């Protein structure tokens, strides 16, 4: 599978990359975010929200699991870290097939419920504020998206 990588050096840079992604997202798209606590998943989501034209402050939905924001498209921001099991049904299907964009932190914890076609973005800490971002598209729409983002 083709993957796209880059190194960033600040939270602002992470957000800027995510903003470029957010500007190009289409209804029904799903972004799976992976990375340890503090890797920058929520920071990345804030950038996506900016790209979607969301003006509200996006913060971690750890306790609520799912939060919705309204911009150019609705953003469904999920953090499934606290789910009891992979198959717990919080209506994910409707979010994944809805009119908005779903961003899922710790997505592998609900692996069985994720759509096959999605964009997985993994964030790795490299000490200090440096992060390695790895984009793995699954499906042509997401491959196209990555090509656009990495071309600009
Ligand atoms: P997660 O959601 O993965 O637990 P957060 O985005 O909530 O992570 O937190 C990441 C923390 O790391 C924030 O305090 C952020 O300011 C800091 N940080 C430092 N450098 C970066 C970077 N390059 N990208 C993202 N966050 C960074
Ligand atoms: Mg988070």
Average the pLDDT over 74-102 and give the result. Answer: 94
- Chain centre distance of CA 40: 11
Q: What is the CATH number of the domain that holds 59?
A: 3.40.50.300
Q: Is the CB of 46 under 6 A from ligand 1?
A: no
Residue 10 has pLDDT above 70, yes or no: yes
- Chain centre distance of CA 116: 15
Q: Is the CB of 53 under 6 A from ligand 1?
A: no
- Whose CA is closest to atom 11 on ligand 1? 38
Percent of the chain at pLDDT > 90 equals 91
Q: Report how far residue 20's alpha carbon sits from residue 10's, in angstroms, rounded to the nearest whole number.
A: 16
Q: Is the CB of 43 under 6 A from ligand 1?
A: yes
Q: Which pLDDT band, with edges at 50, 70 and 90, does 1 fall under?
A: low
Torsion of CA 15, 20, 22, 23, to 10 degrees: 140
Residue range(s) defining the domain that contains residue 123:
2-84+91-149
| Structural domain count of the chain | 1
Strand order in the sheet with 74-79: 4-8, 131-138, 118-125, 30-34, 101-105, 74-79, 66-70
Question: What contacts 104, CB < 8 A, 6 or more positions away?
Answer: 30, 31, 32, 33, 78, 79, 80, 110, 114
Average the pLDDT over 13-32 and give the result. Answer: 98
pTM for this predicted structure: 0.97
């Amino acid at each position: 599978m083709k993957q796209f990588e880059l190194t960033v050096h600040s939270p602002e840079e992470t957000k800027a990359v995510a903003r470029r992604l957010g500007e190009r997202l289409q209804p029904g798209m799903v972004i799976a975010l992976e990375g340890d606590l503090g890797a920058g998943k929520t920071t990345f989501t804030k950038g996506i929200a900016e790209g979607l034209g969301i003006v509200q402050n996006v913060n971690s939905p750890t306790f609520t699991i799912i939060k919705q924001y309204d911009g150019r498209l609705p953003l469904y921001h999920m953090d499934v870290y606290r789910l009891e099991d992979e198959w717990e049904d919080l209506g994910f299907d409707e979010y994944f097939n809805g009119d908005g964009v779903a961003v899922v932190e710790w997505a592998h914890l609900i692996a069985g419920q994720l759509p096959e076609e999605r964009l997985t973005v993994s964030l790795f800490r490299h000490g200090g504020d440096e992060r390695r971002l790895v984009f793995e598209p699954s499906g042509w729409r997401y491959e196209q998206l990555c090509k656009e983002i990495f071309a600009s």
